[in-house]
Amino acid sequence: MKEPVDERSHPNGVLSALDGHVPSRTPIWMMRQAGRYLPEYRELRAKAGDFLTLCYTPEYAIEVTLQPIRRFGFDAAILFSDILVVPHALGCSLAFETGEGPRLGPITDLAGLNALRTDLDPLKIDRVLEAVSGIRAALPKETALLGFCGAPWTVATYMIAGRGTPDQAPARLAAFRDPAFFTALIDRLVETSAGYLIGQLRAGADAVQIFDSWSGVLDPVSFRRWSIEPVRRIVEKVRAQVPGARIIAFPKGATLPGITELVAATGVNGVGLDWSADRKATRLAVGGKVALQGNLDPLALIAGGQALDGEIDALMEEFRGAAHIFNLGHGIRPETPIAHVEQMLKRVRG
Ligand code: CP3
């Protein structure tokens, strides 16, 4: 006899977990799963010559997105792009210097913000949306497609500093010193990021993730104001246009009270946990309300061997019976051996 089919649960494990079900087999994907640890990525990256050319050439973006799916069969593909495409499409200058990370703008006051566009340049954004529909068409039916954007706070930190910094001090200072400018910048990012996610969902993304990679540097009051509130507004705007849109928040470095408040305030379907999260306590606090995504330390993946197996086993045990999506606690690093990714997949899938 066949197993009874739960009509309500999606056949894709990632989407099923986001819909509040406990998938029969733990689904898995990895942040930055397309990237420099893959020789086929490095080859296409060299051919494109520059990272932004990869992002804005649909043929390349489609190919790079599919590379880790072909090699590993992850349960979800994530659009190959970057969170800094949004400021770029607002008219902010952007370059990726090899080995040095991004260089932008910078945008440091209202005059700078007012010189930018109020909408995203369709000449840039339409190429990303074209990639989204191309990826959906090329992906196996059973693989979910995730779109994404950066959270306004995290994107603002890069726009203000013009680059990554150890503690995003320039943006924290601007928020205290010039709240009129800072509020206007966050508002611009809320509006445009919501429209961008709506475009991705309409082009074929099955769910979207909002990356707040720098939420951990905020004090609790600022976290509520600059991290939770903008994400809440994006979720509201997106669901007004795309009812039932599935949304994952990744508030990297957030405290458990912060995560709990974010889940209650925003109504996201899933929350990404970094490796510092206390799994038991997080599950107890929000496990019945959202899917839990994460949270293997990317360094355990580099270490491999018994250390990796032990970490995976502990993680799987602590999330057993929960709506859990296996992932890393942050993006995979370029120096990660491919054999360790294979080892992880075997262990997770049993
Ligand atoms: O996850 C995926 O596979 C999808 C693609 C993706 C990239 N960046 C590709 C990328 C996603 C979702 C991002 C998000 C992103 N970009 C974040 C949020 C997540 C996080 O990692 O915290 C942030 C903060 C950025 C900004 C950014 N982009 C930085 C700081 C850098 C330089 C650091 C680095 O790793 O090189 C990038 C460049 C970047 N984005 C690369 C890739 C594959 C490497 C570029 C290259 O090939 O030279």
Q: Name the residue with the closest Cα to ligand 1, atom 28.
A: 82
Quick check: is 82 catalytic? yes
Which ligand 1 atom is at minimum distance from the Cα of 35?
A: 43
- The partner residues of 104 in beta bridges, in order of sequence, read 94
Whether residue 136 contacts residue 142, with contact meaning beta carbons closer than 8 Å, is answered with: no
Tokens of 275: 């490796």
Residue 207 belongs to some domain of the structure: yes
167 is catalytic: no
Q: Please report how the helices 122-138 and 58-72 are oriented relative to each other, as an axis angle in degrees rounded to 10.
A: 30
Q: Which two tokens stand for residue 117?
A: 């566009």
| Segments forming the whole domain that contains residue 291 | 27-348
Number of structural domains in the chain = 1
Per-residue pLDDT of the chain (350 residues; tens, 9 = 90+): 334 445 568 999 999 999 999 999 999 999 999 999 999 999 999 999 999 999 999 999 999 999 999 999 999 999 999 999 999 999 999 999 877 899 999 999 999 999 999 999 999 999 999 999 999 999 999 999 999 999 999 999 999 999 999 999 999 999 999 999 999 999 999 999 999 999 999 999 999 999 999 999 999 999 999 999 999 999 999 999 999 999 999 999 999 999 999 999 999 999 999 999 999 999 999 999 999 999 999 999 999 999 999 999 999 999 999 999 999 999 999 999 999 999 999 999 98
Look at residue 5 and tell me if it is in a domain: no
Residues 6+ apart with CB under 8 A from 22: 321, 322, 323, 324
CA 70 to each of CA 29, 42, 136, 286: distance values in angstroms, whole numbers, following the listed order? 13, 16, 14, 34
Q: Ligand 1 pocket test: which of 60, 74, 78, 82 has the largest number of ligand atoms within 8 Å of its C-beta?
A: 82
Contact 152, 87 (CB under 8 A): no
Q: Which of 56, 83, 103, 153 to mutate to test the pocket of ligand 1 (most atoms within 8 A of CB)?
A: 83
Place of tokens 């109020």: 118
* Selection from 134, 197, 145, 137 nearest residue 29 by Cα: 145
Residue whose Cα lies nearest atom 1 of ligand 1: it is 32
Name the DSSP class of 148. E
Domain presence at residue 267: yes
- pTM (2 decimals)? 0.96
Tokens 């942050």, residue located: 330
Q: At what angle do helices 179-203 and 229-241 cross, to 10 degrees?
A: 30
Catalytic-residue membership of 37: no
Burial 126-150 (b: 16+ CB within 10 A, else e): bbbbbbbbbbbeebeeebbbbbbbb
Q: Which helix (H) or strand (E) holds 218?
A: none
Sign of CA dihedral 350, 4, 248, 220: negative
DSSP bridge pairs for 171: none
Question: Which residue's CA is the closest to the ligand 1 atom numbered 23?
Answer: 83
Is 158 a known active-site residue? yes
Give me ligand 1 centre to Cα 104, in Å. Answer: 14
CATH of the domain at 231: 3.20.20.210
Residue type for 320, please? R
Domain assignment present for 9: no
In a domain, 311, yes or no: yes
Among the listed residues 32, 232, 246, 283, the single catalytic one is: 32
Question: What count of other Cβ atoms lies within 10 Å of the Cβ of residue 86?
Answer: 25
Cα of 237 vs centre of ligand 1, distance in Å, is 25
- Tell whether 307 is covered by a domain: yes
Known active-site residue 45: yes
Backbone angles phi, psi at 336, to 5 degrees: -70, 125
